[in-house]
Structure 1
Amino acid sequence: MPYLALFAWSFLAATVLPLGSEPAVILMIRQDHSFFAVVIVATVGNYLGACTTYGLGRAVSHALPQEHSSRAARRAADVVARYGAPALVFSWVPIIGDAIVAAAGVARLRFRPFSIWTVVGKAVRYVLVAWGAKALIA
């Protein structure tokens, strides 16, 4: 059951909801759950949540007038336009990360590069968070 909760929390944290999944990862590591299981569940949940945000970006791309975009959305669109799919390695960064994912959808980046770079960024983040939590309790 804790893994299902971690999955759900990680999924929601990668949508436009203002949540962070790091506390859940740290809690699970502190409760002596499997390091690799925690990292994998959090990464998969967060990636699938990002896929939802990417899909929303694609779906509304035709209805978004540029002049009404928020500053974060314009900045994210600039990052995606300049760096392409590799910018998604930073999809975990608070505030701008969700905007980068949505901008990738709006820009209609191909799904495979989106997936690869997003998973890499999120997996590295969760490995570092879990490793840090493990180091603090050792």
Structure 2
Amino acid sequence: MESFVEWGYLGLLFASFLAATIIPFLSSEALLSVMIVNQYNLGTVLLVATIGNWLGGLSCYYIGWLGKWNLIEKHLKIKASTLERFKPKVDRWGAPLAFFCWIPVIGDPLAVGLGLFKTNPISVALWILIGKGIRYLVWAYITFSGMNFYNSL
């Protein structure tokens, strides 16, 4: 993680992107916290982390949109049965489900499923952006609260 911090905002963008894909990667929240503690500009940190994570989520959506079951199962380790379980929820709730793509374990299959079932791409992109942006805002608040608590000791 130290090398990503050394890369500054570009490292944060890259780490946030990877953390939002199926690729197992370090927690972008930890990197976000390190950058805040090291007094990077908060607005820029939140914007860069959100954009990187959003693009990673969209890449999962696009993989689903391509709809190659054999590639999804082989490379992403997501079984067809897992995605089929999402189908009734996607039919009922649609694009707003993309808000929850930030949640570990279910977020990536959810994004892939939304793509596979051809949910409106503009709406999905917007909901993913909102969900991931709120996630980082909350994490920044938690980080600042922890810093304030530590400094008050």
- TM beyond 0.5: yes
* Structure 2: distance between partners of 1:34 and 1:75: 42
Aligned counterpart for 2:100 among listed residues 48, 65, 90: 90
Aligned counterpart for 1:56 among listed residues 42, 63, 81: 63
Where do 1:127-138 residues align within 5 Å?
127-138=137-148
Higher alpha-carbon deviation: 81-90 or 6-15:
81-90
Q: Decide whether the 8 Å contact of 1:79 with 1:100 is kept in 2.
A: no
Aligned counterpart for 1:69 among listed residues 72, 80, 87: 80
What amino acid is aligned across from residue 11 of structure 1 in structure 2?
Answer: F
Is there any run of 5+ residues in structure 2 with no aligned partner, and where?
1-6, 74-78, 149-153
Is there any run of 5+ residues in structure 1 with no aligned partner, and where?
none
Do structure 1's residue 18 and structure 2's residue 28 form an aligned pair? no
Higher alpha-carbon deviation: 19-28 or 87-96:
19-28
Name the % identity.
33
Do structure 1's residue 30 and structure 2's residue 41 form an aligned pair? no
Q: TM-score, normalised by structure 1?
A: 0.88
Aligned counterpart for 1:101 among listed residues 111, 115, 119: 111
Q: Decide whether the 8 Å contact of 2:54 with 2:128 is kept in 1.
A: yes
Q: TM-score, normalised by structure 2?
A: 0.80
* Structure 2: distance between partners of 1:74 and 1:50: 19
Q: Decide whether the 8 Å contact of 1:61 with 1:105 is kept in 2.
A: no
When the two chains are superposed, the root-mean-square deviation of aligned CA atoms in Å is: 1.9
Structure 1 residue 4: Cα displacement: 0.5
**More contact order relative to length (CA 8 Å, sep ≥ 6):** 1
Deviations 1:40-68 (A, max 9, x none): 00000011111111111011256679xx5
What stretches of structure 1 move > 4 A for 4+ residues in a row? 61-65
Structure 1 residue 28: Cα displacement: 0.9
Change in CA separation of 1:42 and 1:58 when aligned onto 2, cut-off 3 Å = same
Deviations 1:88-136 (A, max 9, x none): 1111000101111101100111111011101000000000001111111
The number of residues matched between the two structures is 135
Structure 1 residue 79: Cα displacement: 3.0
* Structure 1: distance between partners of 2:132 and 2:23: 17
